[in-house]
Structure 1
Amino acid sequence: MTTRAEQVAVLRPLYQRDLASGTERFFGPRRTDCPWCASDRLRERLRTPDLLQHKPGTFVIDRCLACGHHFQNPQLNQDGLEFYYRDCYDGLGREAAENLLGTSRSRRRHRVAAESLRPFVDPERWLDVGTGYGHFPEAARQVFPKTVFHGLDQGEGVAFAEAEGRVEKALRGLFTDVAPSLAGQYDVVSMHHYLEHTPDPRAQLKAAHTALAPGGLLQVEVPDPGSAYSWMLGRWWVPWFQPQHLHLMPLRNLRQALEDSGFAMMEVDRRAAHRPMDLAGAVVLLFSRLMPRDDAPWRPRPPSPAARHLRKFLRASGLPVAAAAYGIDLCFAPAARRTGFSNAYRILARRN
């Protein structure tokens, strides 16, 4: 079996070749107007390095003072998206992604999200967009055992989901490209923490409208950039999730976009959508930033033995702090869900 060190050694020349001319080529031109409302009243909200994988690059989130939309500016182009997603959910990052996304708490959240649709629909066919390794359909099947679930994603995880029986059919590609061939086939389309990853969220909503049968339901869950935690924690607020999150939309903006795309709003839920992890996530990001880097192919050389030992020590030191912060997150969660600290919202809409 190939070790991680051996995998890194194989990948390092490829990454170093990609980085030889810098990271500027991974970005499109900087916008001077808001991609949501076209206002030129922009203000920088935060500037941050990659706090997830610690790949080279600096990323800026701008806020529109007219409509409140938040967006990465300049935005990653296709080469940039490929570079920064590489080895995050697949490849080197596959095991970590599976462990993080497949926790028992995540499975319970997925079941609750699926359960919220029970009063409105008994679906025959359900498409989960951005399904990853198919954890959501796997949990939703416990609520709707007779439903046929399909999963769509760009990564290799969706094929794994089909092989494991988490979805009956894997669709791999861009939703906006695939949607015309799916016209009117589904009773439900779900997008959980997917829309913010896309270069054009409104095009995704139109694709969902195409894939749904008349009267079908769309369930969307996204981070809320207006959360009090986003202001309190700054760059250490996990849902900024740079460089992967390209757009973060206030509720009123997404509501209007849904209506413009041919949907009727049914429900908005901030309570169930909240994930109690803000303080713990900030601690993890901070310690990860302070620690010497782990060996990775985007680093020119492996870390020294001294750096490895220091990283191990700091990591052990940070675990009790992160655990204590998580305890505070859990204790404060009931209040956070009912106040401006809720970090996400979930929308249910019907295709007109």
Structure 2
Amino acid sequence: LSAIGRIQDLEREWSQSAIQGASSEEAYARALQLATDSSREVKSRQREALVSFRVLWERLGDVNSLLWVSRLAYDLQDFPTCLEATREFLKRNPDSVEFLRRLGQIHEHLGEREPAVEAYRQVLARDPSAVGVQANLVILAGDSSDTIPKTHPLSQLFSRSTRDCEVDPEKDRDSVWRRLADFFRQGEPSARRVVNLSRQLKGDPGFHSSPCNLCGGEEFIGVAIGGENGWPIMRCTGCGLIQTHPQPTQETLTRKYQEQYYGEGSIDTARGIHESPPIGETPMTMLPRVMDYLIGQGLADFETSRSEKRMLDIGCGEGILMRDFRIRGWACEGTEVSEPAIEFLREKGYIIYEGILSQIEDLRGDYDLVTMSHVIEHVRDPLGDLRKIHSLMAPGGWIFVTTPGADSLPSRIAGEDWFYDPDHIFFFSKQTLQVMLEAAGFEVSNLSAYVGVGRETWEEAWLREGLGPSVMKRVEEMNMGDVLLGLARKKV
């Protein structure tokens, strides 16, 4: 520990001398380049960027540098430094939900249960809808939790999971993997309730019965009853695509998204993100993982080959993805249904088309890159949308898709409980996503699966706390993470 402390002192002295005589703007730009241009796997450059930002924070009191110290320290698992920076930020912004959540995560990593619980409860006091934080509280408190009812699906899953995997992962890793394999092999969800409920819902005016979107088949078998209120999740016997059946009508979906997504608090958070560097891997600021993936697939060479670099983000939300591509020199446009988000992004100078893709007629076309980040699972006709996107793209253009993976390890462990999100209509495996992209005319370049953004979903939290951090790395090595990343090209 003494040697590590001395190394950090030397790094700080070097960084101070390296930026001596440079303006604060130049020093910040240099540190920012180190942090953003290098792969997240290059720890030495991350450490160099961390030290540079820390010097700027200590010397100038620069808040943006403080944000970067917190983010980089967390990525490097330097939790004492991350804790110091996070606490300092919360002194200035005590109501920051993002940093209160991070405070809880740090205490979790340090094994400090009570401070973690207190931080998560402060998050819920400010944002009662933070499902990931609710799940973390269930995991930390076990069956004794008074924060979430024992009837909650998360409580039930936690109880079942701990019962079925009582083993010390540090002492017997092989046994852990055998237990995991047995756990999801034996999980056979009942189909009878699903079929009965499906028949009842066919007469509901808010639902519409339709053939499989991928193959046109009309034969389905039950997979699960989704969510607390229950809705049918079915698998097509022809192609294997999992989908709600019957489906909500478009009118039902549009009304729901306009009413529930992107409220005032969400826009305020986005405003801060647009005016600052990304501050972490939360669902709102997922770009570091996205950009790492795209850079690994040759984004820089692709950018060099395109003359205009025109991008369209489908379901752009608050525009976090567009903001970071704009920084890279792209001309960015987006589609969105939420009026607050549309108004906010137009204030920021973006071209935003209002409505769902299938109903928008005046898109410019010739896009070099089209992105659908956690959108394809929400739309009623994903194959139709992909075909329209194909017609709007320039030859050789890229399409980038992210969506929860129905063949992930967390989904297999959770069984029926994985289908908890009432807004998801389709559930893709790597195979069904590839088949759909190819059916739309694309040539698939890569399909990967990583452990989800922020390490905050309840599947990850249970695995992390119950089985140890090494399992998360193993899950990604097996390409069985809970988020699919798909990259495809329009043939020249």
Range of TM-score over shorter length: 0.5 to 0.7
Which of 326, 329, 333 aligns to 1:141? It is: 326
2:311 aligned partner: 126
Asked whether 1:162 is paired with 2:346, we answer yes
Deviation at 1:75, TM superposition (A): 0.6
Deviation at 1:261, TM superposition (A): 2.1
* Alpha-carbon spacing, 1:329–1:217, altered in 2? closer, same or farther (3 Å): farther
Conservation of the 8 A alpha-carbon contact between 1:37 and 1:67: yes
* Alpha-carbon spacing, 1:175–1:330, altered in 2? closer, same or farther (3 Å): farther
Q: Which amino acid aligns with 2:347?
A: A
Q: Which amino acid aligns with 2:356?
A: L
TM-score by length of 1: 0.67
Asked whether 1:194 is paired with 2:366, we answer no
* 1:262-312 deviations in Å (ceiling 9; x for gaps): 2222222224xx3166884259xxxxxxxxxxxxxxxxxxxxxxxxxxxxx
Deviation at 1:68, TM superposition (A): 1.6
Larger radius of gyration: 2
* 1:69-105 deviations in Å (ceiling 9; x for gaps): 1001111112321343343213477469859x98621
Deviation at 1:37, TM superposition (A): 2.2
Q: Which amino acid aligns with 1:249?
A: F
What secondary structure is seen at the aligned counterpart in 1 of 2:443? strand
* 1:101-139 deviations in Å (ceiling 9; x for gaps): 986212422432453422323452111111100011122
1:230 aligned partner: 411
Q: Which amino acid aligns with 1:223?
A: P
* Alpha-carbon spacing, 1:323–1:62, altered in 2? closer, same or farther (3 Å): closer
Which of 174, 190, 195 aligns to 2:356? It is: 174
* 1:208-260 deviations in Å (ceiling 9; x for gaps): 112211221111122211112112113443xx353211112222233233223
Q: Is there any run of 5+ residues in structure 2 with no aligned partner, and where?
A: 1-200
Q: Which amino acid aligns with 2:313?
A: D
* Alpha-carbon spacing, 1:325–1:111, altered in 2? closer, same or farther (3 Å): same
2:249 aligned partner: 77
* Alpha-carbon spacing, 1:258–1:247, altered in 2? closer, same or farther (3 Å): same
* Alpha-carbon spacing, 1:128–1:199, altered in 2? closer, same or farther (3 Å): same
Deviation at 1:349, TM superposition (A): 1.4
Count matched residues.
Answer: 275
Deviation at 1:62, TM superposition (A): 0.6
Which of 185, 191, 210 aligns to 2:366? It is: 185
> Separation in 2 of the partners of 1:80 and 1:208?
24
> Separation in 2 of the partners of 1:278 and 1:47?
26
Q: Which shifted more, 213-222 or 188-197? A: 213-222
1:64 aligned partner: 236
Conservation of the 8 A alpha-carbon contact between 1:217 and 1:349: yes
Q: Which amino acid aligns with 1:258?
A: L
* Alpha-carbon spacing, 1:276–1:333, altered in 2? closer, same or farther (3 Å): farther
Asked whether 1:253 is paired with 2:425, we answer no
> Separation in 2 of the partners of 1:163 and 1:328?
46
Conservation of the 8 A alpha-carbon contact between 2:448 and 2:479: no
Conservation of the 8 A alpha-carbon contact between 2:262 and 2:318: no
RMSD: 3.3
* Alpha-carbon spacing, 1:177–1:280, altered in 2? closer, same or farther (3 Å): closer
> Separation in 2 of the partners of 1:91 and 1:339?
38
Conservation of the 8 A alpha-carbon contact between 2:280 and 2:454: no
> Separation in 1 of the partners of 2:420 and 2:269?
14
> Separation in 2 of the partners of 1:250 and 1:348?
14
What secondary structure is seen at the aligned counterpart in 1 of 2:399? strand
Asked whether 1:209 is paired with 2:390, we answer yes
Conservation of the 8 A alpha-carbon contact between 1:41 and 1:64: yes
2:262 aligned partner: 90
- Identity fraction in percent: 24
1:25 aligned partner: 205
Conservation of the 8 A alpha-carbon contact between 2:225 and 2:231: yes
Deviation at 1:203, TM superposition (A): 0.8
Asked whether 1:104 is paired with 2:280, we answer yes
What secondary structure is seen at the aligned counterpart in 2 of 1:217? strand
* Alpha-carbon spacing, 1:158–1:206, altered in 2? closer, same or farther (3 Å): same
Which structure: greater helix fraction? 2
What secondary structure is seen at the aligned counterpart in 1 of 2:391? helix
Q: Which shifted more, 85-94 or 69-78? A: 85-94
Which structure: greater strand fraction? 1
Asked whether 1:275 is paired with 2:452, we answer yes
Identify which of structures 1 and 2 has the higher relative contact order when contacts are C-alpha pairs closer than 8 Å and 6+ apart. Answer: 1
2:99 aligned partner: none
* Alpha-carbon spacing, 1:103–1:184, altered in 2? closer, same or farther (3 Å): same
What secondary structure is seen at the aligned counterpart in 2 of 1:132? coil
* Alpha-carbon spacing, 1:97–1:58, altered in 2? closer, same or farther (3 Å): farther
